[in-house]
Structure 1
Amino acid sequence: MEQRTNRRGVTEHFVKSQHVNLQTLRKIHKNDYLCKDRENENCLRLSSENNIVPRYPAPVEFHVSKVAHVTTQTNMDGILSSSGFKGKEGLVWWGLRIGQEEINAAQERYLETLFPNRSPEQREAQQPFLQQFTTSPAFLDSSRYGNFCFSFQLDELMKTYQEQICGGQEPRLRVHKTVVYRQEIMYSVVVHSPEVEDFNEYQELHDNDAVCSYREGKIIWRAQAMSGTHRFRLIQNHDEQHVEAEPACPPEYYMWDNICLVFHIPEDKTFTFSPPEMLVNNLTACHIGSEPLSPSIPYDEAQKIVESKKLHKVSN
């Protein structure tokens, strides 16, 4: 793996042009969280200090149709004043927005894979369990990157990007990087115009990618670690074809993974939206999560700023 210090001063260990799955990362990278032993699994490197990570559902497939760009107040003002996005180093980063509907659908998908022959009575008796495990920052409304969130339907964003940046051609999606932080694994996908050759060294994103794919306006994310802090243990009853989550005490800390889409914006262009009011319509305030990585303000103050932006739009 390569190593660098990013512009926030955080050390990144990364592999370019590959989405390296969790099992392989455990073999090639030394990390106290990553190499913790897991129930029903032998670990490459163990010590007396390693605690066992309770069993959890994996992989779980999420079909995500909404993405978000979270930023600071200064950058939010710049986006609104220019009616669009200009990327640092030519790139604009977007995360997945996963709500309860996507979690419910992923739970059903997981159960169908595990127990394809359940009876109607067994289906009816199954209680929700996946929300006990979807607790990492990838599933939270809060953010570590600022108080201001622009949210879009992915198919709408891709269509606008195709028309404006790609000259009507289909955007290219490529496997960008696997980046490992202390407790986070970030998988990135770069989106660019076919006329841009800067990313030719990266392999194209296909359905057989270990982590994610793009299909009909949705990112298909095969999540491998959803909790970060594990407070529950997965119990599978194969006789009754039933799954439940039981409390695990004490909580155990582990890695969590997530997906980022990286849109390339040429330096001489701004990725704009028409009408410009669309940006304000899609702007919300968000709470700051633990260990913030960007300047932030109190949530109530951010909420008032967003409300004033919306009122100003109406008055104009």
Structure 2
Amino acid sequence: MLIRIRPPSAVQSSEITPESTYRNRRRFLAEMGIGAVGALALSSARAAEAPKTGGEPLKIGKQSKLAGDETVTPFETVSTYNNYYEFGTDKEDPSRNAHTLKTRPWTLSVEGECEAPAQVALDDLLKPAALEERIYRHRCVEAWSIVVPWVGIPLGETLKRFKPTSKAKYVAFETIYDKQQMPEARWSGLQLPYVEGLRIDEAMHPLAFLSVGMYGKTLPNQNGAPLRLTVPWKYGFKSIKSIVRIRFVEAMPPTTWNRLQSSEYGFYSNVNPQVQHPRWSQRSERRLGELFKRDTLMFNGYPEVASLYAGMDLKKFY
């Protein structure tokens, strides 16, 4: 279990109403439309607090609805309800704190078992391919979910440019870690920098995506600017943010949450409602903005990835 280390305070935590409780109650009331006058006031307050949508508009060459006809979660919700522990452990912390992250210039290092390792500027990485918009559903291990229109480039096609060798069985990812830009990280309880990994065939699957934007504009910092992984059939913590290093490796790489608590967070982390989290059920989820829960779908409703795991015991390899 993750033990969150709190900064020192003159007031006992037991005497304070948790900010997350206060804010989440406001979000619930506004999104459920309870009380016309109250909802209007709350909506205005939330708009004032929300990060500006004014990222740079992106030129999109192709659009795909890969979440069926499901309603897209509002930008304001997706940009203010985040897990990014380097900027705070409450859901609202990253949207307040992540402005300290400098996302330009940005260099990605690609290393390991490949014939063409390189240090590549993000803008150069994006030049050869037209940007795509893909609407994906996402499921958090904490039993909430969202639908987001991401903008980016296919992960597999990007990795091929660096010519991985036959020794490349896995792809390891590493996020930026800078104590000056991320002063809240000391309270995260995580071993940083944040690291993640995929098997090479997972990384090459057409659904795996490198996102540089959402809702038609560049990513907000709290959502993983300027470059994040998006793997819609896996739990959200697999989609590492603010990537600075990719390595092709022969052995299964360590991952942050598996390293912290392997009994709760497996390497594969596929959405599987039949695998019980030690502290709660994964059989249902609540889409942010909805009142009632819905059944969780195997592979988060992306059955086209099932062939990747043919013959595997997905309760053992969770």
TM-score when normalising by structure 2: 0.22
How high is the TM-score relative to the length of structure 1? 0.22
Q: Which has the higher contact order (CA 8 A, sep 6+)?
A: 1
